[in-house]
Chains A and B, each alone.
Chain A
Amino acid sequence: MVDMVITGPLKHNYLLIETAIIGIFNILAGGFDFLTNNLF
């Protein structure tokens, strides 16, 4: 099993999951707020 949210460096960091999954540049572009709102 690989759980991308709890393994590796991800653990349970809210911002960290965003950056790991969709990439920091996409976050900075501001186009993925829905991800934050929906992920938790």
Chain B
Amino acid sequence: MHSSLNPQSPPPDPTLVSRRRFLGFGIGAIGALIASALGIPLVGYAISPALKKKKEDWAEAGSVAGFQPLQPKKIEYSAFRKDGWIEETVKKSAWVILRDGGDVTVYDPRCTHLGCAYRWDESRKSFLCPCHDGVFDINGKVVSGPPPRPLDRLQAKIESGKLFIMEG
């Protein structure tokens, strides 16, 4: 630089931001702007499944005519399922218990221990899981065995003799 060779020119002020540095910041700022204009949509897109609220809907699970109160019964029903862009009807099952007064209890058919299918034993009045001898009573409470929590209940209702189970 000519000016630095000139003995008359004052020494450069170290606190001063040089033009070169200033322009460097400018380029950096514009770069950051472009990067975020691209980066924000990409991140939103990638994490989108975590941002989605689960869709809940009632699935019709058939008539409850002929069900005895306090007599657990395993039912099979069809539910609508959305797996990304794949929409399909899947077969599901559940344990249904009619209560006195028209209430209904529905249990998820998987044992809360490791997900095995359990069955109702009429003589012992208990749900028995064959895998690791988990035992639940009619209210879903753990009687014995390894299950860490009571049977999972599904939200359900009866309307004009038909059972509806909440899916989602």
Are A and B physically bound partners? no
Contact surface of A with B, Cβ cutoff 8 Å: none
Contact surface of B with A, Cβ cutoff 8 Å: none
